[in-house]
Each structure stands twice: as structure tokens, then as C-alpha cells.
A and B are shown apart, each in its own frame.
Chain A
Amino acid sequence: MTTIVTDNCKGCRFTDCVTVCPVSCFHYDDEMLYIDPDVCIDCSACIPECPVQAIYEGDDIPEDKEHWIAINAERAPNLPVCEDKMDPLPGAEERKAELGF
């Protein structure tokens, strides 16, 4: 079971996670990051890095977020790889506060 980025990333895209990814399996679009399950080695290093706790282990994902497993798998391979930290999206700090972090 892989590791999954979920909706808390949407509108934040802090990218702290990518700096500790040992295999560069994060991809990005204008809204958020996605993990390529074929590349991810399930090390979980990224999970504690996320300031809005958007990342879950597959074995631990809440039921209402399970659809993100398929979304990550579909979108990631067709998007550019995010290897290095990028600036968060405009409004990321506000969204973080909104999410209660």
C-alpha cells in the first residue's frame, strides 16, 4: 500500500515533503502535489513534514479520503516531478490557518 497526498494540500502546496523524498516521487500541478505509487517506496519520511497533515499511509487513510488513492495514481505520472522545495501557493498560510494548523 502506498503513501497518498490528500485534499489538505490543495491551495497550500508547501512542498516541505519533497525535500525528504528519497526517490523523487512527488509530482505537481497548479493546485497540489501527488505521489506516484509506482515510484514511492513507502518510507513515510514525508508524512511528518507536511504542515497541514495532507499525507497518509495507505493503511491509515480515513475512509472519506480513500478516493485520493486513485487520484494520486492517475494524475502523478502525467505531471512534472517536484524534486526541490518550491514557494507555497499564494494564500497558503491563510488556508493552513483555516485548516486549523
Chain B
Amino acid sequence: MSNVGTPDNPLRVAIVGSGPSGFYATEALLKSDASVRIDMLERLPCPFGLVRSGVAPDHQKLKQAIQLYDKIAQSDGFSFLGNVTVGHDLSVDELKQSHHAIIFACGAESDRKLNIPGEDLKGSHTATEFVGWYNGHPDYRDREFDLSHPNAVIIGQGNVAADVSRILSKTTDELKHTDIAEHALAVLSESKIRDIYVIGRRGPAQAKFTPKELREFGELDDCDPVVNAEDLALNSESQIELEDKSNAGNAKVYKLFNEFSQRTPSGKNKRCHFMFLLSPLELIGKNRLEKVRLEKNQLTGEPFNQSAIGTGEITEIDTGILFRSIGYRGIAITGVPFDERRGIFPNNDGRIIDDGNIVPQLYTAGWIKRGPTGIIGTNRADSVATVESLLNDLHNSTFDNAKNGADFLIPLLETRNVRYVTYPEWMKIDTVEIKQGQEKGKPREKFTRIEEMLNILD
């Protein structure tokens, strides 16, 4: 009988990634009856994943989730190793030696492609790049966005598309007291964009916005939402969808589109146009993006299972910039099975599988486990389920040896000259960021380069 999970031989879990799913997995493990030690590995010096670098800067209230993560991080039995990239600074095999179990909670860091001609033209971007850039993520610090054309196009109608569109729609005054990165605010304040086109493949009844995100477009200082009333006509299948009681969210979204369509534009300087049943066919331009060619779609299929098919009717929009926001994919890590098609780690209730067989010690949670769906809280239920699988395996004596956790990893990092960042060190960075922000009337001014973060520690 194994004694893993007792005070003499605590269950040692490495968690790869420090976003919501990593912290909810930590919370669930710490709440369990087992004696647990957790080492969280994060490739940046700063924790909190998409709550820090994904959630829009004008949604500060959502970022308060960090207060809970901070409390979890200060629990006994938790340690943070930032600025450590698994698969580069440490191998998965090394983590298997140091910990009984590894939970990969590293999110979906890459974008799905449109796979159309011209996609790589200058001016065609992923939403991820733009979101990372305005949120001060070091990976995207030096990206350039040319906002000199009066039109912008966003492909996708989910909440990330809403964030990108809203940031483009807002005035400098609406953004300057948020924690938007300074370099981004400077570029946005010179933006010449006047018309923002938000394009959905399916109809107004299938848009993925939450009502809350969409409602904000009706309340912007200098941007009117525009919806063409004719575009709100529904086929009978979509009517059935909206009448279904379980589909209240989409019904609210549709009602908001309807309200927008009946508004008389109040003459604000910018307009955000919501357009439906359109798929991009080609991005056109000589040296850079000049226009996007779109095909009108129609819906086919049963209610709740309708897909868009092209009608052959073509329309074009002139634009200098386009963002695609049509879904995300995880990135493979050497030593972990990867589902190329879905862009996730294949798993069974959070246990990573290879060709259907469970791979001992490896678990997964969050977007890299289930794909990029849901919001912050969705990850709590998801991580709890993974931890349940892990604890069941503990009871089934899957783990036997005593493991040394971070004590095994730290000498390796030191030999490799990796400047790992501890949680108390992150708290120093945090304090400086908040102070830098206060000076400008912002909740924080983030460091946007890894060297800048490390410099204040040494």
C-alpha cells in the first residue's frame, strides 16, 4: 500500500501554467484530504495567464479573480517557479522524476487559421497578437499594428472578437485609466479607424457573444453600434433555436442586435458594424492588405446544428487591417501526446492518453484539455474534474516513490543558468507595477519585457 499523500510522503504535483485552470487545480488539490505539495511552473516571470494578458484592460472587475489566486499562492505547500519553460528549461521526463503527477494547464496559445489566400499579407493579424500587445504580454511587445486606414475588419463573433472590436471603438479617455499597456495606448490614440466590421460566419441567432459583452457596444462614448435590420431575418430553424428556453443567452444577444438595428445613429465618430452570414474567401492587396473578399452564406441543418454554406454571392470590404478570432489551439510540448486536429492534449477526464492508453503521471486541465471554450469560471469545474481523476489514481496506488519536487528541479535550473522567479519575487514586481500605474491614474503599468521584470529583482 502506497503512503503517497501522507505527511511523510506528500503527493507532489507540478502544474504547468499559472492561469485560471492552474490555480483552480491548485485550489482543489489543497482542499483535498491528501497531504499535497504543489510546484507551479510558468514560462513568464509573472503569473495569472489570460486573466493578466487576455482579459481586456477595461474589464478590471474580472481581473479581481487574481485576488483569489494570490490567496491560493500564499497557501502552505505551494511554490511558484516563474520564467521556466517546460520543454526547454526542463524536460517532461525531469518533471516525471521530480513529481508524482504533472498537470498541464498551459492554455491554447496559438490561433486557428482561416486557410485562405492572402492570410499572411501585412495588415492581417491574429486577435491573440493584438490582445497580447494591448495587455503588455512580452511575446507581443514589439508587434506593429497599422491603424491608419478608416476601416478595420474582425473575423469572428465571440468574446475575444468583442474585446478587440471594443478596444478599437473606444476613445483614449475611455482607456487611459485602465491597465492597458502604455505602448498600445500611444498607438491607439493615433488611430484613424472609423468603421469596424465584425463578421460572423453564421447568423445573428448563432453569434457567440455573451449579452453582457454585446451590451457594452450600446454604451460607448464615441462609437455607435450598427446592425442592418434586414440582416436579422431568421430562418425557421433559427427561430426554433431562439424560442428554446435553454437558449436564453442567444435570445438576449438577438434582442440586443434588434435594439441596435432600430437606433438612429447618434452621429458619433466611430461605428461598429455587426454583419452576419459572411465568410472570408480571400485577403487582397499588393504589398499589404487592401480589401477582404467575402461570400454570403446560408444556414443548413437542424436547429442547434446549423452550418453555414456559401451562396456564391460576393461582397468586398476595403480595409487596412484585419484580425481573425475564430478559435485557438494549444501548442505541443515534447514528451506529451498531442492531438494535432483539435490542438489539445488528448485525455480522458483529464488523464492524458496516447492512442487510447493512459499515460501515467500526466494530466491536463483548462483550454489545453477541452479546447478554447468557456470563460474564467468554466475552468474551475474543469480543473476540479481533473483533480478528482488524479486523487482517484492516488487511492488506486498509481504513485509509489517518494519524490523531491522543486528540490530536484532547482539545482537543474541553476546548472542551466535559468533565472527562476519565486512568488515573493513576483510580489515585488507586482508592487512596482502598481506604483508605476498610480503615477498615471492607472491600476497598474505592466512591465512588458522579461528583462525589465528581472532587473528589479537583482
Identify the A interface with B (CB < 8 A). 19-24, 41-48, 53, 57, 59-60, 84, 100-101
Q: Which of B245, B249, B380 has the most CB of A within 10 A?
A: B380
Contacts beyond the supplied A19-B380, A23-B67, A46-B377: 6 A-B pairs with Cβ under 8 Å: A20-B380, A21-B380, A22-B24, A22-B376, A45-B374, A45-B375
Q: Please, which residues of chain B bring their CB within 8 A of the CB of A20?
A: 374, 377-378, 380-381
Selected contact of B211 from candidates A21, A43, A57, CB within 8 Å: A57
**Which residue from chain B places its CB closest to the CB of A53 in the assembled complex?**
B248
Shortest beta-carbon distance from A72 to chain B in Å: 17
Q: Please, which residues of chain A bring their CB within 8 A of the CB of B215?
A: 59-60
**Which residue from chain B places its CB closest to the CB of A47 in the assembled complex?**
B249
Q: Please, which residues of chain A bring their CB within 8 A of the CB of B67?
A: 23
Q: Which of B24, B63, B384 has the most CB of A within 10 A?
A: B384
Given A23-B68, A57-B212: A43 and B377 interface contact (C-beta under 8 Å) = yes
Contact present for A101 and B377 (CB under 8 Å): no
The CA-CA distance from A10 to B236 in the complex, in Å, is 35
* Interface of A: prevailing SS: loop
Given A44-B210, A45-B376, A60-B211: A22 and B61 interface contact (C-beta under 8 Å) = no
Contact present for A22 and B380 (CB under 8 Å): yes
Contact present for B65 and A19 (CB under 8 Å): no
Selected contact of B248 from candidates A23, A42, A43, A48, CB within 8 Å: A48
Q: Please, which residues of chain A bring their CB within 8 A of the CB of B384?
A: 19, 84
**Which residue from chain B places its CB closest to the CB of A16 in the assembled complex?**
B381
Residue B64 at the chain A interface, CB threshold 8 Å = yes
Contact present for B249 and A43 (CB under 8 Å): no
Given A22-B20, A23-B68: A43 and B380 interface contact (C-beta under 8 Å) = no
Given A57-B211, A100-B245: A41 and B64 interface contact (C-beta under 8 Å) = yes
Q: How many A-B residue pairs have CB under 8 A?
A: 61
Q: Please, which residues of chain B bring their CB within 8 A of the CB of A44?
A: 210-212, 375
B381-402 near A? 1/0 per residue, CB < 8 Å: 1001000000000000000000
Residue B410 at the chain A interface, CB threshold 8 Å = no
Contact present for A59 and B375 (CB under 8 Å): no
Q: Which of B212, B215, B377 has the most CB of A within 10 A?
A: B377
Contact present for A43 and B381 (CB under 8 Å): no
CB pairs A–B below 8 angstroms (18 shown): A19-B380, A20-B374, A20-B378, A20-B380, A22-B24, A22-B65, A23-B64, A23-B67, A41-B62, A41-B63, A41-B65, A44-B212, A44-B375, A46-B377, A48-B248, A60-B211, A60-B252, A100-B245
The CA-CA distance from A19 to B61 in the complex, in Å, is 20
